[in-house]
Amino acid sequence: MKIVIAPDSFKESLSAPAVAQAIAQGVLKAAPHAQVVCVPMADGGEGTVQAVLAATGGQWRETEVRGALDEPRLAGWGWLGSGSAVIEMATAAGLELVPPDERRPLRAGSYGVGQLVRAALDAGATRIILGLGGSSTNDGGAGMIAALGARLLDAQGRELPGGGGALGALASVDLSGLDPRLKQTRFDVACDVDNPLCGPKGAAHIFGPQKGATPEQVLELDRNLSHYADVCARHLPPDAHNARDLPGAGAAGGLGYAALAFLGARFHPGVELVAEISGLEQALEGAALAYTGEGRMDAQTLHGKTPAGVARLARKLGVPVVALAGSLGEGYEALHEIGITAAFSLAGGPISLAEAVRQAPALLAQRACDATRLWLAAGKRRL
């Protein structure tokens, strides 16, 4: 009897491989002779590199980069071999790397992401998988393309400082120094949002406030991103002129726009891309039961998050799914309609967040053991 375990990470608590290991421990306690297959998952955000490396046996590498506020930072990325690399923009310019009282939405830039891309190219990458979740930036990916050799200039021919707040002064873009290896590189972007670059549903309006932007700063950033796209269009081939309006252009503070316009990236729902790389569908074939989960499950989980992606794939193959979450929020019941058979939160009673984080492995194992016992009893299964 095969049981597949395919969770996301529990943010600020456990990586996806660690979550899978804890669930496996509980499953095997209840069903010691089961064949347990762990497929750690992610949706393009935090933990994407670790999930892909766990599935492929790739190498974890680190590169010193410029953080979102120009601080030096050691950022990790993955080398998969055969010319493929995986990069998580959040390891260089992630929101969780910047304490709330230090967030500067007008200054935060994506230069470090470009440095990671360059490191992958230096390693020989001809395919780069780029996860866009969890950014602290709103610079339209200007920092990334600057790190890759583009020059963003003001009316006096001076290079702009980093951050979306400076883009209003952009007068021209010099692409003559852009790394020529980019043209021979395939970029697959893992992204779970479909926002355009600008406007009411754009990067600044939708995501700016969570990055510390005031209402006035949101309006400034949106104007600047629109101006930036107008100037860039003068230096891009015609087929890239509409990149600002494409689904996903507003992802990661507009980094999606730069990926579309300058890198010719192909966008994929993050969980589907990770599932493909990890071989989740093959793992689910012939399975009797599957587990998934994430730190919090609610109505938003339906929109591109890992448990929803796992449930849809498992449902196609006729496999029931149990979801374990740190907490269950409003609207989580809608997940039953897409293939989540049952969902359970970890805490059995009142508990502080710090204590829940500390006890997460044991709580996961306990809930998995209980759920597996119940499932076995309901089906009168014996192992």
Place of tokens 């493909």: 276
Count of domains observed in the chain: 2
Residues 122 and 232 occupy one common structural domain: yes
Per-position DSSP letters for 178-247, written without gaps between them: S-GGGGG-EEEEEE-----SSSTTSHHHHHTGGGT--HHHHHHHHHHHHHHHHHHHTTS-GGGTTGGGST
Domain presence at residue 383: no
Residues 90 and 221 occupy one common structural domain: yes
Domain that holds residue 129: 48-270
Q: pLDDT tens track of the chain, all 383 residues?
A: 999 999 999 877 888 999 999 999 999 999 999 999 999 999 888 889 988 998 888 999 999 999 999 999 999 999 998 999 999 999 999 998 888 889 999 999 999 999 999 999 999 999 999 999 889 999 999 999 999 999 999 999 999 999 999 999 999 999 999 999 999 999 999 988 889 999 999 999 999 999 999 999 999 999 999 999 999 999 999 888 899 999 999 999 999 999 999 999 999 999 999 999 999 999 999 999 999 999 889 988 888 889 999 999 999 999 999 999 988 889 999 999 999 999 999 876 666 777 777 788 999 999 999 999 999 988 765 54
Res 351: pLDDT: 67
Query: What is the edge-to-edge ordering of all strands in the sheet holding 340-345?
Result: 35-38, 2-5, 289-297, 321-328, 340-345
Task: Specify whether the backbone of 192 is left (phi greater than 0), alpha (psi in -120 to 50) or beta.
Answer: alpha
Q: Is 243 exposed, middle or buried (0-12, 13-18, 19+ CB in 10 A)?
A: buried
Is-above-0.85 flag for pTM?
Answer: yes
Residues 149 and 181 occupy one common structural domain: yes
Residues 19 and 92 occupy one common structural domain: no
Res 350: pLDDT: 65
What is the three-class DSSP state of 300?
Answer: helix
DSSP assignment letter at 126: S
Other beta carbons within 10 angstroms of residue 367's beta carbon come to 23
Res 184: pLDDT: 96
Residues 183 and 317 occupy one common structural domain: no
Per-position DSSP letters for 65-104, written without gaps between them: EE-TTS-EEEEEEEEEETTEEEEETHHHHBGGGS-GGG--
Q: In one letter, which amino acid is 131?
A: G
Q: In one letter, which amino acid is 65?
A: V
Last residue of a domain, one of 226, 253, 270: 270
